[in-house]
Structure 1
């Protein structure tokens, strides 16, 4: 429980959230304003617009997280708001992953299969892909809106939001399998798809003309940022829930801290 009172939780994390909020809100508003006036590259406009909307939704919930951490990890906004902020936090991450994957698929088709791509109704194709992403993420995030996220701790005298598990009862298999499937379908499969799309792009562009090297470097940068932003959170989520499920089935009535890495995701996005 020392983490709940540590400077990492009460000072560093809210400082990062404040920075993300101050930079992210105006940056995404400006991005949406600029995208609204663009008429070329309509597919990219649609994808970037949806990315900006997802990030903006995440940013507007940060004041609640900031107040929570600065208040010693004491949640004062109620169970409903706790569920909403948790849903939006995870929803933003997986929405971003899937939209970036859709962008990779779009670039792959445009470069590797240009004749097929020309036949596609590009605007409707991009809208359909983004629509499927939002519906998929919304359905997958429903457990965060249904399950209890707020827990009161007697020592210390605080109410946490998505930071602890109540282990008075045996761990639910649902949470373990849910987070496992979330990491698998929400990160691993999209990661494999995006790596395949961009490595195929690199091979094709490099074979065609060495002058594409700048574009190849940009692709490699996308892959690196994608990995840094999303891999740590999903790996630690998977390890945590596996450890919690297999090692705490017969534990005493305690409250267990949920260790989830969030700094990497919010810092690099």
Structure 2
């Protein structure tokens, strides 16, 4: 599965490279230092009063035909490949996450595990549902017809739930780490209370992630291309966008870097301690490693490209990495549709009758590791 997702990412990035060949230009950095995670453009405001739902009164953006935004907006990558990936993720992920929500709702034990898995399934389901209008947007030639309010809402839901999914997975990994490495401490903890508070913190960060997207205009007309883009092209000279720079960088750290480091540490520690056990934990180690690899393959490319996009845009004004970033985000959607199957697999492995034995060879009572 990891090889399949890696191959898909390489193929999508190759398509993006072909689209940009011969059309790459270097854009000078702007003195304002405004760095949204989108293509840059010049804003032309209308003289009349702007109405939120009237496309004819929307502010217009001007881009050069040689800019990467033109190749991305009209290319097969954004109009065919990306929406096809979204459709596939929705077809698999929406029914599977809905099933997990219904299945876990009927269970009562173990409560901490159920709370975390319900939170993950809900976050994944909201993420996949937010793709519906974006599929129409991409298939319609990257032309947004649903108005500014819906553009802000869909953009906020999309990025908020991407961060929320990664943070919930980190909470599950940390819970598994405590159960395996510190089993006595884990049994003394108020696990249900900690699980509920973990979910509350995740949703607090979710709200913090979506507020900036809801406050800033996301849809703009692009004169040369004859389309109204949603989030993909933003005026970097506008002062209204400048607060997003430190805010989004903070969200990258809290929404990706911190959860990723927690997952790496927890997985390495769990595998090491289980490997030193007198019992045969190889089946669980293999399944846990598979889950970890899929997490890395799905989230690491988007996190790296997101950070690299900010750095290049800040240092040289070069926004060419944004197209690659949008491709990598597709892998996050695939992870959301795979989560239900991975949760069921891990739950089955955790219910085995094998007991974890400490490094000193003293048997301990079996604990839930999920």
The TM-score, its normalising length taken from structure 1, stands at: 0.91
CA contact (8 A) 2:180 2:270 kept: yes
1:267 equivalent in alignment to 2:337: no
Equivalence for 1:252: none
- Where does residue 315 of structure 2 map in the other structure? 246
Residue of structure 1 equivalent to 2:171? 102
CA contact (8 A) 1:172 1:245 kept: no
Mapped pair 1:72 → 2:137: no
**1:211 aligned counterpart, secondary structure:** coil
1:132 aligns with 2:201: yes
Aligned-residue CA RMSD (Å): 2.2
- Which stretch shows the higher mean deviation, 43-52 or 255-264? 255-264
Structure of larger gyration radius = 2
Deviation at 1:178, TM superposition (A): 2.8
In structure 1, the residue matched to 2:288 is 219
**1:35 alignment partner in structure 2:** 104
- Contact 1:74-1:158 at 8 Å conserved across structures: yes
- Using the TM superposition, give the Cα deviation of residue 169 of structure 1 relative to its aligned residue in structure 2, in angstroms: 5.0
Structure with the higher fraction of residues in helix conformation? 1
The answer to whether the 8 Å contact 1:58/1:88 transfers is yes
Q: Under a length normalisation based on structure 2, what TM-score does the superposition of the two structures give? A: 0.67
Shift in CA distance, 26/85, structure 1 to aligned 2, threshold 3 Å: same
Q: Return the alpha-carbon distance in structure 2 between the equivalents of residues 97 and 177 of structure 1.
A: 20
- The one of 178, 182, 186 aligned to 1:117: 186
Structure 2 matches for 1:1-269, cutoff 5 A? 1-169=70-238, 174-209=243-278, 211-248=280-317, 258-259=322-323, 260-261=325-326, 262-269=329-336
Q: Which runs of 5+ in 1 are unaligned?
A: 250-254
In structure 2, runs of 5+ residues without a counterpart are 1-69, 337-370
Could you tell me whether the CA contact under 8 Å between 1:13 and 1:263 is conserved in 2? yes
Aligned residues: 264
1:31-65 deviation digits (Å, cap 9, x = unpaired): 11111111222222111111111111112222100
Closer, same or farther: CA 192–167 of 1 in aligned 2, 3 Å: closer
Q: For structure 1, which segment, 126-135 or 33-42, has the greater mean C-alpha deviation from structure 2 after superposition?
A: 33-42
